Amino acid sequence: MNKTNFYTSTDYQNYNIDAGIYIHIPFCVQKCPYCDFYSITDLSFKCQFLNALLKEMEMVQNTANTFDTIYVGGGTPSILNGQEIAVIIETLHRLFKIHSNPEITIEVNPGTIDLKKFKQYKTAGANRINIGVQSFNDSNLIFLGRIHNKDDAKFVITQARKAGFYNIGLDLMYGLPDQTMDSWLMDLQTAIDFKPEHMSCYMLTYENDTDLWEKMKNKAFMPLPEKQVGEQFELTMDFLENNGYTQYEISNFAKSSSGNFQKNTSRHNQKYWSSTPYLGLGPSAHSYLEPKRFWNVRSVIKYISLLNKGKRPVGEEETLTVEQMMTEAIYLGLRKTDGIDIDAYNNKFNVMFANQFEEVIKALKNKEMIFMDGKRCGLTHKGMLFLDSIAPMFVDKIP
Ligand code: SF4
């Protein structure tokens, strides 16, 4: 991998498809022990960071192509006040060609947001709010090192509605040590009582070198056995489907009972799963412009310093080989409930999917792990439990 600033506004010109913009806000009030996203808790850099972010936008400005999603994530974007979010969104509109009906999402953390801020975000142009609830159980929230309790989470959801947001997503986590099926079911039930348009349910994973991983290694707690984690995942799929939510990705569900399924899905996140171009701004943010992927330096200090010197903060880039692109198509396609688009795969790589993976398809179909209807190949509910072992079976067959 080389260090280079390859991206320019004309790089997007070959794409007819609308791209997305991701903004990484690299600050958190405190670090959650399971999290490996880049963020710092020293908020004194906030002003310098925002100035640097605006400089980065100036440098990569692009009016050659249309961007139809903006996702402000992190870190904790809700550390920013309404004025700061407004400046970010206004600047994007000034320097990029933004679609006339963009999806503009702000991730918020209970504990850093109130009704006034929600209203300001809405005035600034945000039309989608994603709330990091994680759990409605206080002992789980303490275990996860969150700064909020269950009452804060519930209150914040009502405030988002009160501010006039009609596209609200809630994040929950399962597979926690000592989490019972009843307790997880209660979290799911509490969440849907608020009728969110979107639900993301993530399995707790122990990422290398996080505090939680250290604690687990030191046997400070016992992780939930895999079988029970799998049962909680199955419960998630069944419960949400039975309550009017349609799963469209392994961890993501959109409310479909109101007939607005497409509108309620995350337009932005779907770009990640379909190899659509996206531009990431801010420390550690990744960008994708097939066949290239590049990402910014992680350190806020380095990010600010590079931009102050008039340099792009791109840390590294890689150019994907055809084999790597095939691997991505398999991994990302299998994450989606509608699976891999076989015609698109065949046309893109000039191969026959059915021939390339004949043996794997046969073996997995016999075990009812995948479906294959000629147009699409994807995982069944049963197969989704084994994504991590099924995807490598396909990848092994890539020449
Ligand atoms: S608030 Fe979010 S980004 Fe910040 S440490 Fe916790 S999980 Fe990570």
| Ligand 1 close to Cβ of residue 78 (< 6 A) | no
pLDDT at 373: 87
Token readout for 305 is 């310093």
Tell me, what DSSP letter sits at residue 386? Answer: T
Cβ partners under 8 Å of residue 104, min gap 6: 69, 70, 72, 89, 125, 126, 127, 128
Share of the chain above pLDDT 70, in %: 96
Q: Is 33 a pocket residue for ligand 1 (Cβ < 6 Å)?
A: no
C-alpha of residue 37 to centroid of ligand 1, in Å: 7
pLDDT over 90 (residue 55): yes
- At residue 4, the pLDDT reads 31
Looking at this protein, which amino acid is placed at residue 365? K
Q: Check pocket membership of 35 for ligand 1, CB cut-off 6 A.
A: yes
The pLDDT assigned to 65 comes to: 84
Mean pLDDT of 185-190: 98
Q: Please state the rounded mean pLDDT for residues 193-204.
A: 98
Give yes or no for residue 13 having a pLDDT over 60: no
Query: Does residue 103 register a pLDDT over 80?
Result: yes
Contacts of 242 (CB under 8 A, 6+ apart): none
> Over the chain, what is the mean pLDDT?
94
Alpha carbons 323 and 337: distance in angstroms, whole number:
23
One-letter amino acid identity for 135? S
For the Cβ of 147 lying below 6 angstroms from any atom of ligand 1, the answer is: no
| Nearest alpha carbon, ligand 1 atom 3 | 75
Which of 22, 35, 78 to probe ligand 1 with, by most ligand atoms within 8 A of CB? 35
Burial state string for 50-72 with b = 16 or more CB within 10 A and e = fewer than 16:
bebbbbbbebbebeebbbbbbbb
Q: Please provide residue 290's backbone torsions phi and psi, each rounded to the nearest 5 degrees.
A: -50, 135
Predicted TM-score of the model (pTM): 0.94
* Confidence bin at 12 (pLDDT 50/70/90): very low
Tell me, what's the pLDDT at 376? 96
Which tens digit of pLDDT belongs to each residue from 214-237?
999 999 999 999 999 999 999 999
Average confidence (pLDDT) over 113-117 = 98
The answer to whether residue 139 scores a pLDDT higher than 70 is yes
User: Higher confidence at residue 187 or residue 5?
Assistant: 187
Contact 252, 236 (CB under 8 A): no
Determine the 3-state secondary structure of 232 from DSSP: helix
Q: What is the mean pLDDT of residues 167-189?
A: 97
230 CA to centre of ligand 1 in angstroms: 24
Expressed in angstroms and rounded, the spacing between residue 35 Cα and the centre of ligand 1 is 6
Nearest CA to ligand 1 atom 2: 75
Q: Is 130 in the pocket of ligand 1 (CB under 6 A)?
A: no
Which residues are registered as beta bridge partners of 199?
170, 253
Reading the block at residue 326, the tokens are: 């095939």
358, pLDDT greater than 60: yes
Kindly tell me if the per-residue pLDDT of 77 is higher than 80: yes
Q: Region 205-216: what's the mean pLDDT?
A: 95
CA of 203 to the centre of ligand 1 (A): 15
Domains of the chain plus CATH, in order, are 9-273 (3.20.20.70), 322-395 (1.10.10.920)
Task: State the Cα angle at 313 between 24 and 43, rounded to 5°.
Answer: 45
Mean pLDDT of 316-331: 96
For range 62-85, the mean pLDDT: 95
Q: What is the pLDDT of residues 294-321, one digit of tens each?
A: 999 999 999 999 999 999 999 999 999 9
| Residue nearest atom 6 in ligand 1 by C-alpha distance | 32
Quick one: pLDDT at residue 62? 85
Helix axes 300-308, 46-60, angle to 10 degrees: 50
What's the average model confidence in pLDDT over 238-253? 97
CB 294 within 8 A of CB 7: yes
**For 18-137, where are the alpha helices, taking DSSP H only?**
46-60, 82-95, 115-124
Cα–Cα distances (Å) from 62 to 7, 55, 228, 263, in that order, read: 11, 14, 48, 26
pLDDT at 202 over 90: yes
In this predicted structure, the answer to whether residue 162 has a pLDDT above a threshold of 60 is yes
Say if residues 334 and 320 touch (Cβ distance below 8 Å).
Answer: no
pLDDT interval class at 17 (50, 70, 90): confident
Rounded average pLDDT over 161-179: 97
For residue 148, is pLDDT > 50? yes
Q: What is the pLDDT of residue 64?
A: 82
pLDDT value at 11 more than 80: no
Residue 133 has pLDDT above 50, yes or no: yes
Is pLDDT above 90 for 123? yes
What DSSP line would sit under 287-328, residue for residue? Answer: EEETTEEEEE-S-HHHHHHHHHTT---EEEEEE--HHHHHHH
pLDDT at residue 58 greater than cutoff 60: yes
Rounded to the nearest 5 degrees, what angle is found at the Cα of 378, between the Cα atoms of 372 and 382? 105
Give 113 Cα–ligand 1 centroid separation in angstroms.
15
Angle at 269 between CA 368 and CA 131, to 5 degrees: 105
Pair of tokens at residue 37: 């996203």
Of 79, 92, 93, 94, whose CA–CA distance to 47 is shortest?
79
In ligand 1, the atom with minimum distance to the C-alpha of 36 is 8
Per-residue confidence at 258, pLDDT binned at 50, 70, 90?
Answer: confident
Give strand pairing partners of 103: 69
pLDDT band (50, 70, 90) for residue 6: very low
**Strand, helix or coil for residue 171:** strand
Residue 3, pLDDT score? 29
Helix axes 46-60, 82-95, angle to 10 degrees: 10
Q: What local confidence, expressed as pLDDT, does residue 257 receive?
A: 83
Beta 286-289 vs 19-25: how paired, if at all? unpaired
What's the 76 CA to ligand 1 centre distance in angstroms? 7
Burial bucket for residue 334 (CB in 10 Å: 0-12, 13-18, 19+) = buried
pLDDT at 80 (0 to 100): 98
What pLDDT is recorded for position 15?
55
